[in-house]
Amino acid sequence: MDTRTLAKRGVELCREGEWQQGLNLLVEVPKSDLVDRRLRALSYSYLGYGMAKFHKQHRQGLKLCEQAVQIELCEAEVFLNLVRIRVMLNDRRGAVSAVRLGLQYHPGHPVLAEYRRTLGLRKRPVIPFLSRSNVLNRILGQIRYQWSNSTRRRELL
């Protein structure tokens, strides 16, 4: 099988949930001279996500997904797999950043938008010129949070 066919089949298998078979094919792509940027990026992305999820090789997987984003920005799946790895690593800041970048290139992508809702967006600090970790900002932020929740509860009643 040539590299292009290998990569296409590997990505298809991963999309279908046949991860082990797909990863066995995709592991050959980084060693090859595949010219198709889109397919190379998808291959790196799925290989990276699969390595992180199934083989617990988080750093190598993250590196491959980051390479995939650098290769091809026009594939939403590349961003999606990067977000998934960031979430897996409990890297909320990195995940939010990847979601934001992905939605810049793919506005309205349903899964990326769902990740944005799930991860949530932080509000600005109450006193913007002080750091977020400043005691005053932390206390005022907690008061703002409690006040907004009590207001929402009253609206629901």
Q: Do residues 18 and 10 lie in contact, with contact meaning Cβ atoms separated by under 8 Å? A: no
**pLDDT value, residue 39:** 94
Better pLDDT: 31 or 125: 125
Res 104 pLDDT > 60:
yes
Res 96 pLDDT > 80:
yes
Res 156 pLDDT > 50:
no
What is the 8-class DSSP label of residue 130? S
Distance of CA 122 to the CA centre of its chain: 18
Res 153 pLDDT > 60:
no
Residue 82: phi, psi to the nearest 5?
-65, -45
Q: What's the N-to-C CA distance of the chain in angstroms?
A: 64
* Per-residue pLDDT tens digits for 36-84: 899 999 999 999 999 999 999 999 999 999 999 999 988 999 999 999 9
Token output for 82: 């990067």
**pLDDT value, residue 152:** 53
d(CA 77, CA 61): 15
Res 157 pLDDT > 70:
no
Q: Do residues 126 and 137 lie in contact, with contact meaning Cβ atoms separated by under 8 Å? A: yes
Token output for 61: 């997987």
The helix or strand, by DSSP H or E, that contains position 117, with its residue range, turns out to be helix 110-119
**pLDDT value, residue 68:** 95
* Per-residue pLDDT tens digits for 114-152: 999 888 877 889 999 999 999 999 999 999 888 877 655
* Per-residue pLDDT tens digits for 12-24: 999 999 999 999 9
Better pLDDT: 31 or 130: 130
